[in-house]
Amino acid sequence: MSRRRGLRRLLVLGLALALIAGGVYTAVAFIQRSETLIAEKCTAVVGSRKADLATDQAANAALITAVAVRRGLPPRAASIALATAMQESKLRNIGHGDHAGPDSRGLFQQRPSQGWGTEEQVMDPYYSSGAFYDALVKIPEYESLEITAAAQQVQRSAYPQAYAEHEDMGRVFASALTGQSAAALDCTLKSPEEAGDVQAVVDEVAAAFGNIPATADGSTVVLEASGSQAWAVAQWAVANAKSLSVTAVGVEGRSWDRASRNGWQPSEALSGQVRVTVATGTP
């Protein structure tokens, strides 16, 4: 009898362990499918420097940098602008100021009372970015200045040294988003929540970079660009992948795939064009 009881206990124990293992497997599989553990963010890596931004911050960084690219400004200008906007607004287009500047608004916390434009204008990210660069390029030899010094001459902040905290972020994201550093920007994202719109991609690229020839090929937008401009556009698309439901970007022998989450990988992507593919339906 004791032997039978021992076998029975072993059988029960084995079944219990199998059920536990099956439950763990099911739970892990569910979590993986639901993507609840994915922390969405964008990361820029250039040499030994690395910086992370939230997806909305990265999209604003891409906009600010695209304005510099469109104007033909050097990457240094974008570095200064990004460090400034990070300090002033955390790279978010906020509609309020603080005690030092109660009427401050937008990405750069520009004040209508100090001649930066109307409240509506400074809340327009393209206008505010352009206004910042207009002031920056008036500074003699701004490219040779420390980021803190250049930013302070534009902003006249009560806390000028605070800009220095964001220098590394400004440099690495500017290097990636101006296209000076290829395959330097990656965004870790969950699956798209809705289908993308190729016309929205075309419109947003035109607003950011100007007249770049673009054609639609099904769910893919093909943009004619080469060299650093191609990489600027491609990494802009990655930075905006969440809001535009972008699933893949291809440029100059490299591709970024949202689902794989493996960053930029070698591919057959052609030179002279950037291919941006959007989601075709809700998963």
Dihedral (CA of 26, 190, 223, 263) sign: negative
Distance CA 87, CA 110 (A): 13
- 97 confidence band (pLDDT: 50, 70, 90): confident
Is the pLDDT reported for residue 1 higher than 80? no
Nearest to 109 by CA among 124, 121, 130, 94: 94
> Are the CB atoms for 22 and 144 separated by under 8 Å?
no
Q: What is the pTM of this model?
A: 0.86
Instruction: Check residue 27 and give its pLDDT.
Output: 43
pLDDT recorded at residue 122: 97
Mean pLDDT of the 198-214 span: 97
Q: Tell me the C-alpha to C-alpha distance, in Å, between residue 168 and each of 149, 157, 165.
A: 15, 20, 8
Longest dimension (CA), the chain: 97
Sheet with 185-188, strands from edge to edge, namely 49-53, 41-46, 185-188
| Average pLDDT for 7-13 | 60
Q: Tell me if 119 sits within 8 A of 112, measured CB to CB.
A: yes
Sign (positive/negative) of CA torsion 22, 23, 28, 32? positive
Domain residue ranges of the chain, discontinuous segments joined by +? 43-177, 191-278
At residue 157, the pLDDT reads 76
Closest CA to 248 of 224, 272, 230, 269: 269
pLDDT digits (tens, 9 = 90+) for 45-75: 999 999 999 999 999 999 999 999 999 999 9
Task: Phi first, then psi: give them for residue 90, nearest 5 degrees.
Answer: 60, 30
Q: What is the mean pLDDT of residues 92-106?
A: 86
Q: Is residue 237 within 8 Å of residue 249, measured between CB atoms?
A: yes
**Above 70 in pLDDT, residue 33?**
no
Can you give the pLDDT at residue 188? 98
* Residue 92: CB atoms within 10 Å: 15
The whole-number pLDDT of residue 10 equals 60
**How much is the pLDDT for 18?**
52
Closest CA to 135 of 117, 162, 153: 153
Average pLDDT, rounded, for the chain:
90
**pLDDT over 80 at 19, yes or no:** no
Residue-by-residue DSSP string for 76-140:
HHHHHHHHHHHHHHTT---S---SS-TT-BTTTTB-GGGTS--HHHHTSHHHHHHHHHHHHTTST
Report the first-to-last Cα separation within the chain, whole angstroms. 57
Instruction: For residue 53, report the phi and psi dihedrals to the nearest 5 degrees.
Output: -135, 150
Q: What is the pLDDT of residue 15?
A: 59
Separation of alpha carbons 234 and 275, rounded Å:
8
CA 97 to chain CA centroid, nearest Å: 25
Q: Give per-residue pLDDT as tens, 215-257.
A: 998 999 999 999 999 999 999 999 999 999 999 999 999 999 9
The per-residue pLDDT for range 149-172, each reduced to its tens digit, is 999 999 887 677 888 999 999 999
Question: Which residues have C-beta within 8 Å of that of residue 119, sequence separation ≥ 6?
Answer: 103, 105, 112
Residue 29 has pLDDT above 60, yes or no: no
